[in-house]
Amino acid sequence: MAPSTGSVHPVRYLTVFAVLVAVLYALVFFTGDKSATPKLGIDLQGGTRVTLTARTPDGSKPTPDSLRQAQEIIETRVNGLGVSGSEVVIDGDNLVITVPGDDSAQARSLGQTARLYVRPVQTSQAAAAPGTQAPAAGETPAQTPAGTESPAPQNRPFPAQDPSTSPEPAPTAEPAPADASGTETAEAADEIAAARATRQSTDPAVQQQAMATLDCSVPDPLRGNDDPALPLVACSTDGQAVYLLEPAIIDGQEIADATSGYNSQQSRHEVSLTFKSEGSNTWATFTSQNIGKQAAFTLDSKVVSAPVVQGATPAGSSTSITGSFTAESAKELANTLKYGSLPLSFAASEAETVSATLGLASLEAGLIAGLVGLVLVLLYCLLYYRMLGVLTALSLVLSGVMVYAIMVLLGRYINFTLDLAGIAGLIIGIGMTADSFVVFFERIKDEMREGRSFRSAVPRGWARARRTILSGNAVSFIAAAVLYVLAVGQVRGFAFTLGLTTILDVVVVFLVTWPLVHLASKSPFWSKPGVNGLGAVQQIAKERKAAAASAKESRV
């Protein structure tokens, strides 16, 4: 049975929708960067392309499996960073990362090898300026080595580091041409072997010479290829300090989780690490036996942080990497460590700007085409449904208003980028919203053909139409979800926007269209056949009723 008139509260539904729209636009205008435009994809605004060439210690060709694994890990990092519209493709021995926008640093960070080790610090000194001699090991450096600090309270659960003297947390490769030929690959292997011979020597004299001559201002040929079983002479990531490190005690594979956050007590951003069982036990033993000594976290053969152990960390507890982090750099490092080391190291990457392949002109053309189609749909509704078509137009406009706000907020908070495929999904989704209106109106006409008035036909027609609307939208949403999971690249953008507009279709139909039509059914003006366009249906109902009465009289 249709719901009774007293049980329907259309104003409440409309109020709920108005509150939702108000909240969305309050978030748009009063939070974040205050930008009121969606972020555009690489096909509309251009972006940054970074080419990474795999490097193996022996100069051999990387296996297809290792390249595919590296591709999957980098794609996972992309998702962790919330970078939408990015692509990671295999091109020969290269991985090509394309990220919308002009932030090349973000694209570079996705290709970090992220081979993390924890190494005890044997000694450290300030790095020499290029072309000068560094102080010998054991001499007093000209400045405080990065990572040291004055004593802190002994009851702190994790090692600490003075942010004013700490190295920058994220290693950034210097731009250099990617190795392309076999000769260059062999030269890279020779560079790695030569670096290992000096910087990973067990001879103290060679170690001191390596510390004195290491130039932290040039790209590191050993990047990500150091042997964890040997000592290591390494630079800090900011190039201000040189460390002599002992063999690694913990491998980065022992990291169970990594998160970034703000330590309000110390007023600094930090990365919190949780080790797996074996790594946690090793760290607990090390910290209990080496209070007052430094432990270096090395990422791709460079020291990210070298904090002083100020207290034992119990097994199972988390530990923190601190330094001169910003919120963004801490998040990037945490995601890089969290999603695992790449199976290969890569040559220094060169970022290039990619111009928009379609550009704003194509965006305008696509929007004009969508607008023309929408106008034609509305004209058809006005001609066929008369004033009910006005309710259709109003519902579609309100749906578009909500979609726009959501696109802006998604771009702001999860870096969702809108490309042409996504715009196509939006247009199709809005068209499906119009289909829902048609289903509802046709159900009303079916009820009126049975002889009911416009007022009584609306609740009955809605009771029958809403099941059909929900079923149709459920099928569309499932299709969009499956497409999003299985697809890659821009197809995922199409599936995402299609699924989003499918959900909003249900919201608009239930909170806007149905209440408006219900209010119209109570209005004497909207109930006029010449206004609602249902005069022909009412005439058919009268003819059926007359025919039925005539047939009944003839039988009598």
Among 104, 132, 156, the domain-final residue is 104
Among 53, 81, 104, the domain-final residue is 104
| pLDDT tens sequence across 210-225 | 999 998 888 888 887 8
Where is average pLDDT lowest: 124-128, 172-176, 270-274, 278-282? Answer: 172-176
351 in a structural domain = no
56-171-292 Cα angle (round to 5): 110
pLDDT of residue 20: 95
Same domain as 526, residue 436: yes
Same domain as 44, residue 13: no
109 in a structural domain = no
pTM over 0.85: no
- The residue range of the domain holding 494 is 5-38+358-551
pLDDT of residue 135: 44
CATH number of the domain within which 132 lies: 3.30.1360.200
Same domain as 76, residue 16: no
Instruction: Name the residue with higher pLDDT: 501 or 61.
Output: 501
Averaged pLDDT for residues 340-355: 68
Distance CA 72, CA 80 (A): 12
| pLDDT tens sequence across 441-466 | 889 888 888 888 888 889 999 999 99
Among 75, 104, 133, the domain-final residue is 104
By residue count, the chain amounts to: 556
Instruction: Name the residue with higher pLDDT: 92 or 296.
Output: 296
Model confidence at 381, in pLDDT bands (50, 70, 90)?
Answer: confident
Question: Is the separation of the CB atoms in 268 and 322 below 8 Å?
Answer: yes
Same domain as 162, residue 76: no
> What percent of the chain shows pLDDT beyond 90?
22
CATH number of the domain within which 468 lies: 1.20.1640.10
pLDDT of residue 146: 33
Same domain as 381, residue 333: no
Number of domains making up the chain: 3
476 in a structural domain = yes
Averaged pLDDT for residues 63-79: 80
353 in a structural domain = no
pLDDT of residue 367: 76
Averaged pLDDT for residues 393-398: 86
352 in a structural domain = no
350 in a structural domain = no
Question: Is the separation of the CB atoms in 278 and 256 below 8 Å?
Answer: no
Same domain as 56, residue 160: no
Beta bridge partner(s), residue 56? none
504 in a structural domain = yes
Same domain as 120, residue 257: yes
Same domain as 535, residue 509: yes
> Which is nearest to 379 in space by CA: 432, 448, 434, 427?
434
Same domain as 389, residue 336: no
Where is average pLDDT lowest: 172-186, 197-211, 294-308? Answer: 172-186
| pLDDT tens sequence across 224-255 | 788 899 999 999 888 889 999 999 999 887 88
Averaged pLDDT for residues 261-268: 87
SS3 content of the chain, % helix, strand, coil (to 5): 50, 15, 35
Q: Is 212 exposed, middle or buried (0-12, 13-18, 19+ CB in 10 A)?
A: middle
pLDDT of residue 38: 86
444 in a structural domain = yes
Averaged pLDDT for residues 32-40: 78
CATH number of the domain within which 62 lies: 3.30.70
Same domain as 68, residue 31: no
Same domain as 399, residue 529: yes
Where is average pLDDT lowest: 96-105, 157-166, 455-464, 521-530? Answer: 157-166
Same domain as 324, residue 388: no
